[in-house]
């Protein structure tokens, strides 16, 4: 039995105690309540999700409401309400993304928009632009808008306490993505665990493909995020040391990539390779953007065969790269950001309904390699070749 079935069963048990309640009417009103105005057009899928009904039940009720002229058809698959229902205020959630420049963040944003719409929630979106100053301004904006809850994705630990204090003073609960903030529910990766997965795979790969130990280990981090995000790199080192003989003796070079951006990382790795031209280099990257930048730097001077690179995020660009024959982006740890929206909205609703919520909600982690990428993401090729709608 699904959670929705349990919810419906619980509701119906309550209603049966009141013998004069007609459940069909209750469900019909629930459908009418899914419309926020007489101008809104919804399809069956969205209506069923908002009313918490099976599609077959929702369809029969929708057709009945059309016949009684409480609803009208809008196009082939849409419905529009003919009546304006009085209702309680919709929840309003503020969401500040880390930056529009990161593919991972863009995917999270898209999934949040879909999930908020399905849950009948108003989502106010802002962009922190990798800037502590803008992150603080966005926090003030959400407070002035009197949102019910905030989902904040900003990685600068220097302002984490200030942002937390703002929301605390305004009595606004908030969910922190990627980097924990004082008083917030954390949602994101177990960074050390994810890094260790990548480090172990780097060590195994090096043992299989190189006769000698790696000459150097390059770590590409985000220092502004503090030790929490860079725990991915700590995990990389520990995973290598765990499986690679004399792993601790490998010379290590740690670089700050200015927020995990491609161009900044490309410049950093180019300069490194001009100073220290390796024959066997392992690279542990904080995300796929930095991993791909490092790969580009090695490739452009003809040294791709001298490196093995591990990314983080499992992004589409990284998956496409791993499908290339003999690519030295050998793995990435996937977090499946396309699933974030539904889970974040679920946690947000539990908080807003004053239910008990764990202080940290960790996402799923899975190591992606050239050997399993098509199994884990079988639809990539289809999505890339699917015709666009005109």
Q: What is the pLDDT of residues 2-58, one digit of tens each?
A: 444 434 444 444 444 455 678 888 899 889 988 877 888 999 999 999 888 999 999
Q: How confident is the model at residue 252 (pLDDT cuts 50, 70, 90)?
A: very high
Q: What's the pLDDT at 86? A: 58
Select from 268, 323, 276, 266 the least CA-distant residue to 300. Answer: 266
Position 270 scores a pLDDT of 97
Q: How many CA atoms lie within 13 A of 381 on its CB side?
A: 6
List residues bridging with 254 in a β-sheet. Answer: 219
Separation between Cα atoms, residue 154 and residue 135, nearest integer Å:
7
Lowest average pLDDT, out of 8-12, 80-84, 269-273, 367-371, goes to 8-12
| 158-188 per-position pLDDT tens digit | 999 999 999 999 999 999 998 899 999 999 9
- Classify residue 160 by its DSSP letter: H
* Degrees to nearest 5, angle at CA 32 with 30 and 35: 110
High-pLDDT (> 70) share of the chain, %: 91
In the prediction, which pLDDT does 155 show? 86
Decide: helix, strand or coil at residue 28. Answer: helix
Q: Say how many C-beta atoms besides its own lie within 10 A of residue 275's C-beta.
A: 7
User: Which pTM value belongs to this model?
Assistant: 0.73
What is the pLDDT averaged over residues 132-140?
A: 96
* CATH among 3.40.50.2300, 3.40.50.970, 2.30.110.10, 3.50.50.60 for 191-334+367-385: 3.40.50.2300
Instruction: Note the CATH architecture for domain 3-81.
Output: Orthogonal Bundle (1.10)
Are 344 and 351 spatial neighbours (Cβ–Cβ below 8 Å)? Answer: no
> What pLDDT does 277 receive?
92
Q: Where are the domains of the chain?
A: 3-81, 92-189+338-358, 191-334+367-385
How much is the pLDDT for 19?
A: 54
For every residue of 110-143, DSSP letters joined together read HHHHHHHHHTT-EEEEEE-TT-HHHHHHHHHHHH
Which H or E run contains 79? strand 78-81
> 98: closest CA among 136, 155, 176?
155
Checking if the pLDDT of 84 tops 80, the result is no
Residue in the structure block whose two tokens are 């190189």: 210
The pLDDT of residue 36: 76
Residue 290 scores a pLDDT above 90:
yes
The residue behind tokens 């007489």 is 38
In this structure, whether the domain defined by 92-189+338-358 belongs to CATH 3.10.180.10 is answered with: no
Distance CA 142, CA 111 (A): 20
Q: Report the percentage of the chain scoring pLDDT > 90.
A: 73
Nearest-10 crossing angle of helices 103-118, 288-300? 150
pLDDT recorded at residue 3 = 42
Residues 6+ apart with CB under 8 A from 325: none
Q: Rg of the Cα trace of the chain?
A: 25
**Confidence at residue 266, expressed as pLDDT on a 0 to 100 scale:** 97
Q: 3-81 and 191-334+367-385: same fold?
A: no
Q: What's the chain's average pLDDT?
A: 90
């Amino acid at each position: 039995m699904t959670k929705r079935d349990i919810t419906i069963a619980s509701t119906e048990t309550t209603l049966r105690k009141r013998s004069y309640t007609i459940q069909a009417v209750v469900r019909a009103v629930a459908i009418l309540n899914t419309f926020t105005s007489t101008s809104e057009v919804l399809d069956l899928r969205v209506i069923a999700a908002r009313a918490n009904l099976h599609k077959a039940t929702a369809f029969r009720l929708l057709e009945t409401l059309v016949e009684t002229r409480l609803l009208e058809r809008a196009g082939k698959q849409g419905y529009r309400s003919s009546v304006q229902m009085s209702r309680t205020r919709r929840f309003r959630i503020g969401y500040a993304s880390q930056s529009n420049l990161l593919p991972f963040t863009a995917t999270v944003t898209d999934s949040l928009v879909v999930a908020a719409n399905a849950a009948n929630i108003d989502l106010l979106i802002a962009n922190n632009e990798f800037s502590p100053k803008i992150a603080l301004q966005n926090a003030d904006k959400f407070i002035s808008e009197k949102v019910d809850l905030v989902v904040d994705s900003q990685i600068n630990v220097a302002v984490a306490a200030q942002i937390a204090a703002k929301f605390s003073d305004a009595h606004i609960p908030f969910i922190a993505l990627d980097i924990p903030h004082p008083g917030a529910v954390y949602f994101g990766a177990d960074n050390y665990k994810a890094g260790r997965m990548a480090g172990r795979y780097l060590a195994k790969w090096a043992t299989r493909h190189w006769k000698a130990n790696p000459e150097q280990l390059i770590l590409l981090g985000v220092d502004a995020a503090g030790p929490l995000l860079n725990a991915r790199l700590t995990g990389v080192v520990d995973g290598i040391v765990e499986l690679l003989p004399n792993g601790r003796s490998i010379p290590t070079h740690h670089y700050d990539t200015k927020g995990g951006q491609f161009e900044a990382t490309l410049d950093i790795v180019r300069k490194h390779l001009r100073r220290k031209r390796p024959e066997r280099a392992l690279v542990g990257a904080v995300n796929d953007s930095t991993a791909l930048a490092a790969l580009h730097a090695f490739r452009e001077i003809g040294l791709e065969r001298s490196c093995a690179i591990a990314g983080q995020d499992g992004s589409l660009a990284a998956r496409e790269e791993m499908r290339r024959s003999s690519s030295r982006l050998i793995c990435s740890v996937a977090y499946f950001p396309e699933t974030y929206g539904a889970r974040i909205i679920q946690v947000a609703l539990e908080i807003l309904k004053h239910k008990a919520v764990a202080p940290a909600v960790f996402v799923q982690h899975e190591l992606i390699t050239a050997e399993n990428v098509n199994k884990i993401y079988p639809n990539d090729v289809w999505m890339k070749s699917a015709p666009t709608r005109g």
